[in-house]
Amino acid sequence: MSGSRLYLDHNATAPLLPEAREAMIEAMALQGNPSSVHAEGRAARAVVSRAREVVAGLTGVPASQVTFTSGATEAANHVLTPDYRMGRAPVRVSRLLVSAVEHPAVLAGGRFPADCVHVLGVDANGRLDLHALEQALSEHDQSTGQLMLALQYANNETGVIQPVREAAERVRAHQGLMVVDAVQAPGRLPVSLSGLGADFLILSAHKMGGPKGAGALVSAGETLMPAPLVKGGGQEKGHRCGTENLPAIAGFGAAAASAVAALDRVQETATLRDRMEHEMREAAPDIVIHGDGAERLANTTFFSLPGLKAETAQIAFDMEGVAVSAGSACSSGKIGESHVLAAMGADAALGAIRVSLSNLQTAEDIDAFVDVFRRINGRRMERRAAQAAA
């Protein structure tokens, strides 16, 4: 709890960690351009190199396989392209598969033409339909080029964890490429590129307590790489040109180091989340918690209350001093139903509220949230009783 406000929207963005802020302040004091060869430039370059080592360590790869970007959306647009190179030889990727519950940055298909993007269905919990994946893989004509699957590790709205390893094994059997959106995972799940069977991982700094405006594309090697999205002076080995955002990268590195340590507190977060859901169910037996039949991130609850629109509930929580989301923050302020709920076969028109905890949340925070939930639900029940009596 911060003052009179309770922030429970960490899947949208995690507050900047003190160690990330300190690293950024120190980086701001450096004068040099990381590409310069003089002492000032070398000092700046050392900051980028240290951060790259830490991010690489988070994902279990050599530092040379981390490309810094301006965020996860840029990384997605970088890697989701038909144009690759194996050394100097061009490699064509002719078809992109995505699940129906992907983040909009992935669901849009990046640089693939729309008719080359195929959306795969999910079950009622929002998990990828592996049979649909197998069928799509079997139907692919490899003479037209390679196939790529882009799949999130954990959904940003429901927290549902996808069968990434199983999907990767199927993709590998068909000589395809596997891209994993791991944005929601650091600090909540182990993030190993090889363990997931991925060719590429997408990361975002601000989801793990780093600054907004920094992300990374992590690759399984340096030989097969996508055509650059941002061209120019040759920074990041030519994969992502433009002078590096030194303070943001420094903060990213500090946050990545903290994400590794945060894994030790996942069970504590899960215990708090489970208690919160138990008390919510006691107060509102008709509550629908989306994805609760599947393995989820320990910090995430995505729920609907029949008869109460998510936007209305979000405003009510905000007025009570609690920050939650009505779906994904990337869609806030836009009129439209949740594509995640629609894909799961849920009532997308009603919407849902997402509560996403930090790993430092306390029992007192949960008590405070449940108290507000009970008041909002009580008003809902009063309205329903009045409507029934009318």
Residues annotated catalytic, as ranges: 330
Rounded Cα distance, 52 and 68, in Å: 8
Q: 181 and 151 in contact (C-beta within 8 Å)?
A: yes
| Nearest by Cα to 300 from 162, 159, 155 | 159
250: Cβ contacts below 8 Å, ≥ 6 apart: 23, 24, 26, 27, 47, 50, 51
DSSP character for 353?
E
175: left (phi over 0), alpha (psi -120 to 50) or beta: left
273: number of CA atoms within 13 Å, CB side? 25
Burial of 382 (0-12, 13-18, 19+ CB in 10 A): exposed
Q: 81 and 110 in contact (C-beta within 8 Å)?
A: yes
| Nearest by Cα to 202 from 193, 211, 194 | 193
Q: How many CB atoms lie within 10 A of CB 127?
A: 21
Rounded Cα distance, 236 and 302, in Å: 38
